[in-house]
Amino acid sequence: MIDRFVTALAWLAAALFTISGCMLTYEVVARYFFVKPTVWAAELSQLCLIWGSLIAMAWALRFHRHIVVDALAAQLPPRILRWTDTGAMVVVAVFSAALVWKGWPIFWDSFERGRTTGSMLDLPAWVAELAVPFGFAVLFAQAVIEAIETFRGNRPGHWEAPHE
């Protein structure tokens, strides 16, 4: 079930990146060809990029699409490498949990106080801030799954990308 959810979030992230690109292209054309800049394109495209990046993290982790520095790890035997990969997933889970724990109060404070971005569009600040606890909560869940499955030997290590 989590795999389907993470994949759906990845598709949503791809759509948000595409929408952001379209908005920025429109902004460039409107600004430089028609001298009619928008008040919404820059801020909404930033919002799409923030949400897209943070909701795609779990998919990148699940399918080993993240950067791995393995100069030392490549020299280790597979059994030890499984332990190091499991440990790395535990570190990701702990880091993600810390960001959810610290990010939620920031979002909630902005939500309760009605803070806005202060830009011309003046969106509620919590819309962007919610992306942090949400994205990292999903990453936390995926990191825990990866740690368990890697430890059990049910997931290939980082040196063997899984098939989609």
65 — pLDDT class (breaks 50, 70, 90)? confident
Q: Does 9 have pLDDT greater than 90?
A: yes
Closest-CA residue to 148 (of 94, 98, 85): 85
DSSP structure string for 102-158 = HHHHHHHHHHHHT-B--SSS--BTHHHHTHHHHHHHHHHHHHHHHHHHHHHT-S--T
The answer to whether the beta carbons of residues 143 and 96 sit under 8 Å apart is: yes
Element at 92 (helix H, strand E): helix 78-113
pLDDT score at 150: 87
Residue 125, pLDDT score: 93
Structure tokens at 143: 């990191």
Q: Kindly report the average pLDDT of the chain as a whole number.
A: 90
DSSP character at residue 121: S
Structure token digits, residue 76: 């280790």
* Interacting residues of 164 by C-beta distance below 8 A, sequence separation 6+: 63
Residue 103, both tokens? 């990010």
The candidate with the shortest Cα–Cα distance to 150, out of 108, 95, 107, 90, is 90
In the predicted model, is pLDDT for residue 14 greater than 60? yes
In this prediction, residue 90 carries a pLDDT of: 96
pLDDT of residue 162 exceeding 70: no
Q: So what's the pLDDT on residue 135?
A: 97
Instruction: State the Cα–Cα distance between residues 7 and 151, nearest whole angstrom.
Output: 23
Report the distance separating Cα 31 and Cα 117, nearest Å: 22
**For 75-127, how does the pLDDT look when each residue is reduced to its tens digit (9 = 90+)?**
888 788 888 889 999 999 999 999 999 999 999 999 999 999 888 888 999 99
- Percent of the chain at pLDDT above 70? 94
Q: Tell me what pLDDT residue 66 has.
A: 80
Q: What is the pLDDT of residue 91?
A: 95
Work out the average pLDDT over 57-62: 94
Bridge partners, 124 (sequence order): 116
Nearest of 141, 130, 133 to residue 61 by alpha carbon: 141
Work out the pLDDT band at 160, boundaries 50, 70, 90.
low
Three-state DSSP state, 37: coil
Sign of CA dihedral 69, 50, 46, 44: positive
